[in-house]
Structure 1
Amino acid sequence: MAEPILDILNFDNIISLAVKTLAVIFLIVIFNSFLGIITQSLLRKAKTKKQISNVEIFSQIFKYIFILLVVVFAVLSYSGAWSGFGIFLGLLSAAIGFALQKPITGIAAWMMVVAKRPFDIGDRIFLGDIKGDVTDITLTHIHIAEIGGIIDGEESSGRIVLVPNSLMFEKNIINYTYNHDFVFDSVITTVTYESNLDHAIEIVRESARTKLGKFIARSPSEPRIRLDFMPSGIDVQVKYFSPSRELHEYSSRITKEIFDRINEAPDVEIAYPHTEVVFRRKA
């Protein structure tokens, strides 16, 4: 045990180690300077946020790969253990394979999307707890233009969510537009028991038909009415197929049309929580 230690502490070995260490540092400094010049040149030419991000990310990747190769080469050169290089590569491959389980699963999921086509770019989907329109499908991620998110409703949040492809093997996928571009929606209007119910039904139905006009011919069915007894009145619910990307827009238009028509109708009133005191004479 003493001899190897003495070999390491040998003056010639120390000089050799110092020279190789300085050579490694020199190479890394030169490479970083050269890479920095190229990176700055590319950043000046980059126009978009994505281009800037690509330049910075690939610059980091090249730097780390170069440092790893230089260090490995220096260590093996100093030790003279080139025979162990194959073992090192085998262990490195195994480690990379273990670390990349999710990305590999993501690539398999991408192949499933290409073959089975559960959705396409432009479809509105619900994947796990993320809802939105698919804008891109890559080897590792699905890019989704989120709807809802931090706010209620079907409005676009303006955010792009990158969902790992591997989640497709773990979560349910709901495709709003798999068969057509329409989704079933509804608007509920509660009218008082004293209202003319037939007139209320006509107002609600015609309001939906008016606002959906051009889509009714292409949608799977006509607007339909459903009624329910409620404590304060009768719920008149109109169910209809609406363009999947404009659900909130059309429900708002129909609601406004119903409100305006009821205000003009003398025999229909909207029910709302309130207190009414009725005095009766005793017999």
Structure 2
Amino acid sequence: MEEAIAYLNTQWSAVVKGVSDILPELVAALAVIALTWGLSRFAKMIIARLGGRMHLRSNLIEVLSMLASVGLWLIGTLIAVTLVFPSITPAKALTTLGLGSVAIGFAFKDTFENFLAGILILLREPFALGDFVECEDIEGQVEKITIRDTHIRQTDGQLVVVPNHMLFQNPVTVRTSRDLRRITVICGVAYGEDIDIARDVISKAVRNVDTVRDDVKDVQIFATNFGASSVDFEVTWWTGSKPIDVRQSRDQVIAAVKRALDDKGIEIPFPYRTLTVNEPIPVTQVSE
């Protein structure tokens, strides 16, 4: 019993001596951790202020704050570990972190790819919240941009969550990058009608539509083709860039042109077909 107590006393004395020996290094490590915490909070505050002044997106500010915080904590933790355990040199720690980073990079390749693409999208700002975009047969309004993906609400109400690397690597059409958008429809009139009169009637009908922005961009009407049963006009005008603006304006213009041509008696022909028969067709009269 006395031997056990003596052994425990010896071990306890060794522990106390070991703690007292590394106490200065432990205090210094705790001071480094506290300083790292303070610097991390200060860095986040500075980034938030600068981001607000530069009118950066809130998501981008959060990402920059996170990267700054992670970098500071990585450096602070590395310094604290080397203070407590002198045998662990910064070179060895960085080598270990490097090998671990390579393994993690291979394991989470797609995640990191989307992460980097999200940062670049937020930095470049090729489109903003509320824009209507199209990419790889996906078309809709941008509702949310995160580090990993972008939420696009299609015109039929469905939500599509698109990985950021897809938007970064493929062409993206931003339909609302400007307030106006050009629309073109084809209108045909019969060959027997006067082309100049028909063009004038179509032009006046289009300009009288409220959704046509002829005050900014002029209406253009060109005869483009000799069709099977009509002379075709290409009618071009400008209206709002949102999909609903485009559909409404196209509907109103087509109705206005049809109404104006009917009022002037100008024929919009149906397709005509002429059948030619090489031999006489026998006709038999059926008596009742």
Is TM > 0.5 for Structure 1 vs Structure 2? Answer: yes
Distance in 1 separating the partners of 2:221 and 2:128? 33
Q: Which residue of 2 aligns with 1:272?
A: 270
- Per-residue Cα deviation, 1:180-214 (whole angstroms, up to 9, x for no partner): 12221112111011112222112222222222457
Q: Which runs of 4+ in 1 moved over 4 A?
A: 89-96
**Structure 1 position 129 matched with structure 2 position 128:** no
1:190-269 matches, within 5 Å, as 190-212=188-210, 215-217=213-215, 219=216, 221-228=217-224, 229-245=226-242, 246-266=245-265, 268-269=266-267
Q: What's the offset of the Cα at 1:231?
A: 2.3
**Structure 1 pair 205/252, CA: closer, same or farther in 2 (3 Å)?**
same
Residue ranges of structure 1 left out of the alignment (5+ in a row): 1-88, 147-155, 278-283
- Which one of the candidate residues 115, 139, 142 is aligned to 2:147? 139
**Structure 1 pair 123/164, CA: closer, same or farther in 2 (3 Å)?**
same
- Per-residue Cα deviation, 1:226-269 (whole angstroms, up to 9, x for no partner): 11222211111211122121212211111111111111112x11
**Structure 1 pair 214/237, CA: closer, same or farther in 2 (3 Å)?**
closer
TM-score (norm 1): 0.56
Distance in 1 separating the partners of 2:270 and 2:253? 19
- The one-letter code sitting in structure 1 at the alignment partner of 2:124 is K
- The one-letter code sitting in structure 2 at the alignment partner of 1:235 is D
Structure 1 contact 122–135 (Cα < 8 Å) conserved: yes
Structure 1 contact 184–241 (Cα < 8 Å) conserved: yes
- Per-residue Cα deviation, 1:6-49 (whole angstroms, up to 9, x for no partner): xxxxxxxxxxxxxxxxxxxxxxxxxxxxxxxxxxxxxxxxxxxx
Distance in 2 separating the partners of 1:158 and 1:100? 32
- The one-letter code sitting in structure 2 at the alignment partner of 1:101 is K
Structure 2 contact 113–165 (Cα < 8 Å) conserved: yes
Structure 1 contact 212–242 (Cα < 8 Å) conserved: no
Give the % identical residues. Answer: 26
Distance in 2 separating the partners of 1:160 and 1:172? 20
**Structure 1 position 161 matched with structure 2 position 160:** yes
Distance in 2 separating the partners of 1:136 and 1:201? 46
Q: What's the offset of the Cα at 1:276?
A: 6.6
The structure with more radius of gyration:
2
Matched pairs, number: 179
Q: What's the offset of the Cα at 1:270?
A: 0.2
Q: What's the offset of the Cα at 1:96?
A: 4.7
RMSD: 2.8
**Structure 1 pair 214/270, CA: closer, same or farther in 2 (3 Å)?**
closer
